[in-house]
Amino acid sequence: MARFNPFEDAVDFSFWKEICEKQGSLRHFKRGDFFVHSGDVLKQVGWIASGSFKHSLIDNAGNHKAVGFVFEGAVLANYMSAMLGKKMPTDIIALEDSEVFLVPVELMRNHLAYDPTLNIHFVQALFDQAYNHILNDYRYTPEERYHQLIKRYPRILELVSVGEIASYLNISRRQLHRIREVKTK
């Protein structure tokens, strides 16, 4: 089965999972708990054993926007913060009760530093995902993007509010309600 984020299919993250499970500590997050706040620098990264998280920000008008999601069996991190020590551009918040194996960011930073081929492949996969996300906003209609999202991860409707799905698709709630009404008719 394809992963939610395309870069997760492009990179073999078994190394990440193994490091987190063997050297990490298991931490429980309740729904709504912050893994990290916008403006902070990541000190830990993780592997999601169960549960899910959203990346969100507040736009210049003060609106909360969901800009990404990660689910069970995936990396919990931000490359720019973890690998380059930059401040987080988003909050990362638990969508549901979740269990995450956490390790100090230095473990992953060192692992990737000693495997430059993996690091380059990782960065290329992230870039490819970001670029295709931008192109898909032009290539597909909002209705097509919604159906692709639901097909990619049907459970998202259980975890994420309609407003957050709309913000992730960069459309209004009203537009999303119209799309969903057409499907039910």
Identify the CATH number of the domain in which residue 66 sits. Answer: 2.60.120.10
Percent of the chain with pLDDT over 90: 72
103-112, 122-131, 174-183: least confident range: 174-183
Does residue 154 register a pLDDT over 70?
A: yes
Per-residue pLDDT averaged across 145-174, rounded?
90
Mean pLDDT of 142-164: 90
Give tens-digit pLDDT for 50-85.
999 999 999 999 989 999 999 999 999 999 999 999
Give me the pLDDT at residue 1, please: 45
**How much is the average pLDDT of 101-119?**
93
Please indicate, yes or no, if residue 119 is contained in any of the structural domains: yes
Distance of alpha carbon 27 from alpha carbon 19, whole angstroms? 15
What are the helix and strand counts (H, E) for the chain?
9, 8
Answer whether residue 100 is part of any domain. yes
Answer whether residue 182 shows pLDDT above 80: no
> What proportion of the chain, given as a percentage, has pLDDT over 70?
97
pLDDT at 40 over 50: yes
Domain tally, the chain: 1
For the chain, give the number of residues. Answer: 185
In a domain, 30, yes or no: yes
The pTM for the full model equals 0.89
pLDDT of 152 higher than 60:
yes
Report yes or no on 114 lying in a domain: yes
Asked if the structure places residue 176 within a domain, the reply is no
For the chain, the average pLDDT equals 92
**182 is a domain residue:** no
Structural domain boundaries, residue 40: 6-139
Residue 42 falls within a domain, yes or no?
yes
Dist CA 145 CA 90 (whole Å): 22
Top-confidence residue, 109 or 185: 109
Beta strand extents in the chain (DSSP E only): 25-29, 34-36, 44-50, 52-58, 64-71, 75-76, 91-94, 98-104
Residue 24 resides in a domain: yes
Q: Give SS3 for 48.
A: strand
Distance CA 85, CA 67 (A): 21
**Average pLDDT over every residue of 33-39:** 98
